[in-house]
Amino acid sequence: MALGHHVYQDGVTSMQAFNSMTDSANSTEYPFMKRKSPGFLGWVLIWLTIPMSWVQGFTNYYSRPKDVNCIKKHGLYTSGDMRAKNASIISIKKIKELSKAKKATIGDIVMAMASNVIHEHFKERGDLNDEITFAIPFSFVVIPEKIRDYVYGNNFIALTMYLKLKEKLDDAIEVSKRIMTEQIKQIPGGWYALVQSYMFLYSPATIFYISRSTGTKHSMLFSNVPGFIKPVKYFGGTVKRHYFIGSGAGNITSGIYALSCHKRLTLNVCSATSEIEDVPAFVEKFNKRIA
């Protein structure tokens, strides 16, 4: 049960599990986008720059107070009454064309759409906040090419980011691109090393406090799960859509999750009714922009 929980929580290991159950798991070509993990020299650089990364990470985290808005009304409280809804399917071809025209990534475009949607959601409720704190899962782990090399379990960190809410998509795209260049690239190495060394640095009481308070600062989690980019089959049929109902870290109850599958991208919104009271209506805001 514990292993299953961690497989579900970690997007990389979730996809490993899904791939290991395909019809020809050990004979098909690698179905995921290939990316490199840090080599020996890369890890040496990460460890050498840890002090600077820690300073940048803590400075970033404490640069803004905990969110209080129409989504994050309470720090620790959540109703536990969860709702989830998938948005309309997005064509990978079309979103690639848009990202190319805007000189952005697919992740930038999806984050920009989220900025638009949350801006509209806040405006409807008379919430004057123009920025939210959100978490992005980050991992150096790469899915191995051979299934026998798979390792299952949580092996990621949640980076704290700040998203300006914009009404126009072009403005939101520029904000999203700056997040990638100015925020995310500064802190992952040292922050990743810090989180991975919790068990060695902190007492059980401190770890309990960190686990309990994780997410009290954030309004939402934004996750882009690395899905299949090539056809895979289950029970003789080719997978055309892949749905993923995400789960936030700690007290982050609300989340927007993007999962690609071959030529399609699926967005899922999951939240407790104490935060987003009408998830289907929230998702309809995405559908208007997808159409």
> What percent of the chain has a predicted confidence (pLDDT) above 70?
85
Q: How confident is the model at residue 2 (pLDDT cuts 50, 70, 90)?
A: very low
| CA 253 to the chain's CA centroid | 13
In this prediction, residues 232-261 reach a mean pLDDT of: 80
Q: Is pLDDT above 70 for 69?
A: yes
Q: How many CB atoms lie within 10 A of CB 275?
A: 23
Least confident window among 42-56, 82-96, 184-198: 184-198
Least confident window among 31-45, 111-125, 192-206, 272-286: 192-206
> What whole-number distance in Å separates Cα of residue 17 and Cα of residue 7?
8
Q: HEC states along 18-41?
A: HHHCCCCCCCCCCCCCCCCCCCHH
Angle at 249 between CA 5 and CA 79, to 5 degrees: 95
Least confident window among 103-117, 161-175, 185-199: 185-199
Q: Is pLDDT above 90 for 232?
A: no
In this prediction, residues 132-143 reach a mean pLDDT of: 83
> What whole-number distance in Å separates Cα of residue 56 and Cα of residue 54?
5
Q: Is pLDDT above 80 for 27?
A: no
In this prediction, residues 58-70 reach a mean pLDDT of: 86
Maximum mean pLDDT: which of 1-5, 227-231, 263-267, 277-281: 277-281
In this prediction, residues 98-111 reach a mean pLDDT of: 89
In this prediction, residues 268-286 reach a mean pLDDT of: 92
Instruction: Name the token pair of 160.
Output: 């704290």
Q: How confident is the model at residue 243 (pLDDT cuts 50, 70, 90)?
A: confident
Least confident window among 150-159, 219-228, 264-273: 150-159
> What whole-number distance in Å separates Cα of residue 285 and Cα of residue 66?
26
Q: How confident is the model at residue 166 (pLDDT cuts 50, 70, 90)?
A: very high
Q: Is pLDDT above 50 for 6?
A: no
**What is the reported pLDDT for 204?**
74
Q: How confident is the model at residue 185 (pLDDT cuts 50, 70, 90)?
A: low
Q: Is pLDDT above 90 for 278?
A: yes
**Per-domain residue ranges for the chain?**
2-290
Q: Is pLDDT above 50 for 5?
A: no
User: Any idea which architecture 2-290 has in CATH?
Assistant: 2-Layer Sandwich (3.30)
Q: How confident is the model at residue 1 (pLDDT cuts 50, 70, 90)?
A: very low
Terminus-to-terminus CA distance in the chain, angstroms?
A: 40
> Which has the closest alpha carbon to 171: 126, 116, 219, 222?
116
> What whole-number distance in Å separates Cα of residue 288 and Cα of residue 291?
5
Q: Is pLDDT above 80 for 163?
A: yes
Angle at 269 between CA 265 and CA 271, to 5 degrees: 165
Distances, alpha carbon 280 to alpha carbons 23, 220, 268, 270, 283, in Å: 34, 17, 10, 10, 5
Q: How confident is the model at residue 193 (pLDDT cuts 50, 70, 90)?
A: low
**What is the reported pLDDT for 286?**
92
> What whole-number distance in Å separates Cα of residue 134 and Cα of residue 220?
5
In this prediction, residues 102-113 reach a mean pLDDT of: 90
List, in sequence order, the alpha helices (H) in the chain. Answer: 2-9, 11-20, 40-48, 50-61, 92-101, 106-124, 169-178, 188-196, 198-201, 204-213, 279-290
Mean pLDDT of the chain, nearest integer: 81
